[in-house]
Each structure stands twice: as structure tokens, then as C-alpha cells.
Amino acid sequence: MRRLAALCAVFALTLAAGSGCGSGGVRYSHGRVEVRLWHSMSGVTGDALKKIVDGFNASQSEYTVVPIFQGGYADSLKKLVSSLDTSSMPALIQLDDIELRFMVDSHAIVPAQDFVDADARTPGSHPANLADFEPRALDYYTLNGKLQAMPFNLSGPVLYYDRDVFAQAGIDHPPATLDEVRADAQRLLLHNPDGSLKRNGIALSINGWWLEQMMAKQGALFANNGNGRQGLATKVLIDSPAGIAVLSWWQQMVRSGLATNVGTSGLQSLLAVVTGKSGMAIESVSALRAIVLALGPASARLGVAPMPAPPAPDNSGGMVLGGAAMWIMKGRPLAEQRGAWEFLKYATQPQVQAQWHYDTGYFPVRVSAWDLEPAASLHRQYPQFAIAHDQVVRSPRNLATAGAVIGPFTQVREYEQTAFEQVLVGGKTPQEALATAAKDADRAIARYNRSVR
């Protein structure tokens, strides 16, 4: 199918006549407008999304949403970029949080705000009740004063820990700061009779997201110009005291053997906790549902706590609400765009979000969804979800917790990752590594900013 599309594209180019391949008309299927949705949900989350789509398709007779799994977010974006201005472009695409600036700069999307405003002008429409949306999610996806994309699946990092192991070590509450993590890790160490380490304190994976989150938790900006929200970001601020504090802790923990570095795969760190090789791990809350499904009642042993971080000076710090959002593409005909918007309104209804939260463990986009069934019963059965959610609602709303907006964010994350690796296995100091990463990131940002002007 893709080869066919590629062939089609090539012929269109060589003949300079897009007959049969043009990006023109509305797609129809069985008399309804067809709205193609590219997404990155597979397995449990894929099934949950399918449930929402089926619900929407059955709820009305004007549109048919066709969900198409396109691999991870990066793969999906790659395909989107090569499909821009062709007929294979979808009307709706789910992309992860950090693509915000990139998508706005593409000029290939219609801001969700435009549809919100249009609904407000149209009598008889059913406008989205933004007042009931998680305000931190709206904060994240609002740029240039407009809601650019519709937040859909929300997540954040949490601390996972083995409650039994904590109880055995006589620790009665999970650590809140990095110093407490170090102290607890010390008590969690377990040695084999031959003196080798049987269990370490915490399994740490390498991910730029951890650095970004821990900086926000200190109330620190990740990028200049108000995290890129008051003006175009031109510099990252990772070589600040807030950034250095995080990497220094990381280095000490791994060097002293209190922590194990599991590399770039976050699931490895969770696996270490589940198999008893580590007492704690830092991972996204989006993994929680799958673990609970796999372990069942045994998952009561797995504790969840807010992600620990250096304390913020004046309670200005909090979590950045991550996850992904849905984007409406400008290149598709208006009828398809409208169908996409109607679908988004359906998908973010409180009842639908309560089910979505129950199925996937992602935080619901709607505030009122939290207390609806089946979400409420999930919280009764697994209090871990409520603890994770607490971290969201306790986060103050400011520029630091709204999250950074940078064009080449994927590239910046690579440099963050390199900084981690240089500190953990390359023998550099956190100051050196972060200064190098900042310099490389700034160069990438400058190149990007130049190219989109």
C-alpha cells in the first residue's frame, strides 16, 4: 500500500499532473465522510482507542473515523511529514507532547481553538466544555494564545517502589526528594552471602524527560523566553544549578552502586523492580495499567509515589503533564476536519474519558471524569492511580510546569541523553556534560529557528 502510494507520488511528480493522486476531494465511505486517524496506540491502549472510535461511529451517521496505527509517535510524524500535501495525509493525527512547536511551525494544522471558537459562534452546536478540561493539559498545548491541539492521553513520571521491601527495611513512606531516595536506597541494599549485590536501591533509565521533569519540579525553566512560551526559545537552560543538581545526584547514585543504570529502556527499570533486583524505579505512569493487568492482585505490592526531585524553593515546582494530543490537519477538506473535531469532542466527553482512563491508566482529560464509573472503581481497587493523579493536581500552574516548547525537541532530547551517558559512563562532570549538551542544543535550535522563518 505504501509502495503504491510512493509510486503514485513519483508519477505525480514526473508527470507534474496529480491526476488521481491529488490531495483534493473528501473521502467517503458508505455515504459517510471518512476521517482517517493516525495513532500510536497498540495493544491494550490500541483496543481502548478502538472502543472510542466504534462508540463515535455508532453515535452518529455523518462521519466514519478510521483508526490507522502508524507505529510510535516518531514513526507517525515521519510519515506525516512525507505525506504533507499528498492525498495520503490523515485528517487527524496523534502526536506526543514535544512536537507542539514543530506542528505549529508546519502551518499544516488547524488549531483546535478555531473549532472551539466556531462552535461558540454556531447556534445549536455542542461546544466542548473547556472549563471541565484538566487546565494543566490546556496550558501545555496552548501556544500563541490558542489551544493548538486537543489533549488526549495524559501521563507523567512517577516513582515505583516495592512496598514489601520498604516494609522489611523499616521505611514507612516513599521518598519525596532526591536526598531521601539516596538515604532509602542505602537501606534497601541487599547482599548475597558471597558479598555481591543482590538488590540495589533504584533502577534508573536514561531519558531526557526525567531531567526536564526534575527541573520543572524545582520550578526551573528548561528553555529561555518563558520556556519558549513568551517568545521563540533560543537557548536551553540545562546547565543551570537546577539541571546540574539532577545530574550530579544521578552520577553519585550510580557510582556508589546505590542505583543501577539500565540504559535507555524505561521498561528495564520497571522490570528490575518487579523481579526484585531493585527497590525503586522512575517510570511513566502510562506503564501502570499494563502492570496491574499483568500482576492482578499481586500488584498491591507495587507502590506508586510522586516523582522525587530536589525541593522547589517556594513551592513553585511541579510536574509537566506529558502524553500526547490530537492534531487536525489543514490539508484535508473542511468536511473531514469537522468530522475530526466532532470525534475529538466525543472522545473527550467525561464518560468516554472515564472509560479511557480505566482501560489505559492515562489521566483523564476531563476533571469530572475522575469520579465517574468505571474510573472510580479502578481507584478503589488500585489506589496507585489516585496517588499518581495527586501529583498532577498538586502541581502549581506556571511557565515551568507548563513545559518547554522547542522546535527540534527530539534532537535536544538526544543531547540530554548524551549528557546522561557522558556523566554515567563517559567520565565527564555534570557541569561539562550539560554545558556541551546546551551548546549543541542551542545550535540545533538556531538552525531550526532559521529554517522555519
Partner 1 sequence: MSEETMAGRRVGSPRARAIRQTVAAAPFLLPSLVLFAVFVFYPLVRSIWLGFHATDPFGRNEVWVGTAQYHDVLTSSDFRHSLLVSGQFALYTVIPATAIGLYLALLSHRRLPGIVIFRTIFSSTVATSVAVSSVVWLLMLNPSVGVLNYVLGKGGVPTESWLTSPTWALPAVAMTTVWMNIGFATIVILAGLQNIPEELYESARVDGAGRWSEFLHVTLPGLSPTLLFVSVVGVIFAFESFGQIQILTQGGPLDATNVIVYSIYREAFLHYNIGLASAQAVVLFVIVLLLTLLQFGVARRWVFYQ
CA distance 195 to 290: 35
Q: Give the list of residues 6+ apart from residue 151 with CB closer than 8 angstroms, or none.
A: 133, 134, 137, 138, 140, 141, 321, 323, 325, 348, 365
Q: Which residues bind partner 1 (CB under 8 A)?
A: 7, 10, 74, 78, 81-82, 84, 102, 105-106, 108, 261-264, 268, 271-272, 275, 277, 407-408, 410-411, 414, 417-418, 421-422, 425-426, 444, 447-448, 451-452
Nearer to partner 1, 108 or 367 (CB): 108
Nearer to partner 1, 213 or 269 (CB): 269
Nearer to partner 1, 6 or 167 (CB): 6
Phi and psi at 444, nearest 5°, equal -65, -40
- Asked whether 407 and 448 are in contact (CB, 8 A), the reply is yes
Pick from 134, 44, 94: nearest CA to 360:
44
- Asked whether 75 and 42 are in contact (CB, 8 A), the reply is no
- Residue 342 CB, nearest approach to partner 1 (Å): 28
**Where do we find the cell 471524569?**
369
- Asked whether 162 and 334 are in contact (CB, 8 A), the reply is no
- Residue 203 CB, nearest approach to partner 1 (Å): 10
CA distance 337 to 66: 14
- Residue 202 CB, nearest approach to partner 1 (Å): 15
> What are the DSSP calls for 16-42, one per residue?
T--TTT-S-SPPEETTEEEEEEEE---
Helices (H) and strands (E) in the chain, counts: 20, 15
Nearer to partner 1, 302 or 365 (CB): 302
- Residue 155 CB, nearest approach to partner 1 (Å): 21
- Residue 257 CB, nearest approach to partner 1 (Å): 14
Count the Cβ atoms, other than its own, within 10 Å of residue 31: 8
Specify burial of residue 226 (Cβ count, 10 A radius: 0-12, 13-18, 19+): middle
- Residue 408 CB, nearest approach to partner 1 (Å): 6
- Residue 173 CB, nearest approach to partner 1 (Å): 28
What's the angle, vertex CA 116, arms to CA 113 and CA 122, rounded to 5?
Answer: 140
- Residue 110 CB, nearest approach to partner 1 (Å): 16
- Residue 29 CB, nearest approach to partner 1 (Å): 29
Nearer to partner 1, 180 or 421 (CB): 421
Nearer to partner 1, 110 or 354 (CB): 110
**Secondary structure percentages of the chain, helix, strand, coil, to 5:** 50, 15, 30
Nearer to partner 1, 74 or 295 (CB): 74
Nearer to partner 1, 193 or 297 (CB): 193
Q: Which residues share a beta bridge with 94?
A: 326
Nearer to partner 1, 4 or 58 (CB): 4
